[in-house]
Amino acid sequence: MADKIQLTPNVISEQGLRQSLEHGGQLEIECREQPFRKGPSWHGLWVMKSVDPSGDVQMLVTARMDAARGGFKVREFKTATGIISFLADCGFAVAHFPLRAGEKTTLRLQLAA
């Protein structure tokens, strides 16, 4: 389930997201498919958006173009471990994300004063 986004202003790279977070932006995590447990791991489908301080929203995309579809490919997270690793890499000290399809969570980095 990869969404196609063709309008460049509506997308953001991982590097751009990190910069936005460092300047007071927020990260919105949306659960798109109900998570399920498979062994010790949780699987589902989550996507992330950057919300900058002015309220502009940009979808997190992969670093590469989706040439077959002529646009960007939305960055999808399919395991809870993937989300936790991504959040830790972005500088979050706490991992918080929705576990029900259709729900969203918004996070903000705790910046040093």
Note whether 89 and 48 are within 8 A (CB).
Answer: no
CB within 8 A of 110, min separation 6: which ones? 93
Residue-wise pLDDT for 5-62, tens only, equals 444 679 999 999 999 999 999 999 999 999 999 999 999 999 999 999 899 999 999 8
pLDDT of the residue at 19:
93
Note whether 6 and 59 are within 8 A (CB).
Answer: no
Q: pTM of the predicted model, to two decimals? A: 0.86
Q: Where are the domains of the chain?
A: 4-99
Whether the per-residue pLDDT at 74 is higher than 60: the answer is yes
pLDDT of the residue at 69:
61
Q: How crowded is residue 5: how many other Cβ atoms within 10 Å of its Cβ?
A: 17
Tell me the C-alpha distance between 22 and 85, whole Å. 18
